[in-house]
Structure 1
Amino acid sequence: MTTDSARPRPPVTSPSIIVLTLARRVETELNAALAPLELTVARLGLLGHVKAMPGASFSELARMSGTSVQSVHSAVKSLVAGGLVRDHTARAGSASVIELTEEGARLLEEAKRAVSTVDELLFGPEADPIQRKVGAGILGAFG
């Protein structure tokens, strides 16, 4: 009988697989941290895009989110119902002006704190040394 510690580790052969594996862990941790705020990573991303580009069209939001226009329409409708954004659409087929409400801005600030907690957990001083290097490398490349 072998124990988990006696099992050989699979060889690291692909940066894509390593990044994908880490991304799934990050997404799982973020979704858990955002759940008490009734947010998901996708909804947080959409709120962030709306804040960064008030008045962005549904098409622009879809491009930034990497999703379809129909998905963005549905998500915005849900955010409007939750009082997090306003959609100043004059009429069907016309350009929208989508903006955060005060509640949406407040929730976005709370979500930033949740993200910081996950960053600390996964990439902070107490995290796995390899993950700390990955986090520092990402910040160095994009920060």
Structure 2
Amino acid sequence: MTDQTPQPGPGPIPPPGPAFLLAVLGRLIRDDVETALRPTGYTLRHLSILGHLQREPGLSYSELARRAGVTAQSAHATVRQLEQRGAVEPRNFLGRGHTAELHVTDEGRALIEAGKRAYAASDSDLGSALSSEQLATLTDLLMTALSSRRHRS
């Protein structure tokens, strides 16, 4: 004789954690920014490298790669593309074995401004889903979490 007692189901599915939700939201925002940049012919990787160089001209390729989260080879290729398009220019080239100091040009600054507009549009989208108070709280929480992560590295 078998037991016909119904077995409890898996129960309610718990909501995903904040890291998962941030990853999903980040992917959506990344897609939006990439779409906004498409007419310029640049990508988020180009924008990232330019942003780092604007803040700190003269970074090595390996440091650029680390900060942008890409390989050194990828950073080289991206910088080469930026140079070919006139978005960065090498200065103070010291010869073999020395790194040229890379500087953002007017073309590069225009791309950075396009990126800022794309991110502002995403902020606006968030602002349409959240109240200004919620958006301010979210920003504060994300800044705290980001600061905590940076101090651990």
- TM-score above 0.5, yes or no: yes
Q: Which sits farther off after the overlay, 42-51 or 81-90?
A: 81-90
- The TM-score with structure 1 as length reference comes to 0.78
Q: Does 1:83 align with 2:86?
A: yes
Q: Which runs of 5+ in 1 are unaligned?
A: 1-8
Residues of 2 paired with 1:134 and 1:39: CA distance? 29
Deviations 1:67-90 (Å, cap 9, x if unpaired)? Answer: 211111100000000110012344
Shift in alpha-carbon separation, 1:134–1:55, aligned structure 2, 3 A: same
* One-letter amino acid of the counterpart of residue 62, structure 1: A
1:66 counterpart = 2:39: no
**What is the aligned length?**
132
Give aligned-pair identity as a percent.
32
Hey, what does 1:38 align to over in structure 2? 41
AA of the residue aligned to 2:129: A
| Equivalence map 1:7-22=2 (5 Å) | 10-22=13-25
Deviation at 1:117, TM superposition (A): 1.2
Tell me the secondary structure at the aligned position of residue 12 of structure 1: coil
Report the CA distance between 1:135 and its aligned residue: 4.4
What's the Cα RMSD here?
A: 2.5
Q: Who wins on radius of gyration, i.e. which is larger?
A: 2
Partner of 1:53: 56
AA aligned to 1:21 is V
2: CA distance between counterparts of 1:81 and 1:10?
A: 51
In the superposition, relative to structure 1, how do residues 61 and 128 fare at CA in structure 2: closer, same or farther (>3 Å)?
same
Q: Does 1:109 align with 2:113?
A: yes
Which position in structure 2 is the counterpart of 1:4?
Answer: none
Please state how far the C-alpha of 1:142 moved relative to its aligned partner.
5.8
8 Å contact 2:32–2:118 — kept in the other structure? no
Correspondence for 2:9: none
CA contact 1:58–1:96 (8 Å) conserved in 2: no
**Aligned with residue 30 of structure 2, among 27, 32, 39:** 27
Give the stretch that moved more between structures: 74-83 or 86-95. Answer: 86-95
Contact preservation (8 Å) 1:59, 1:69? yes
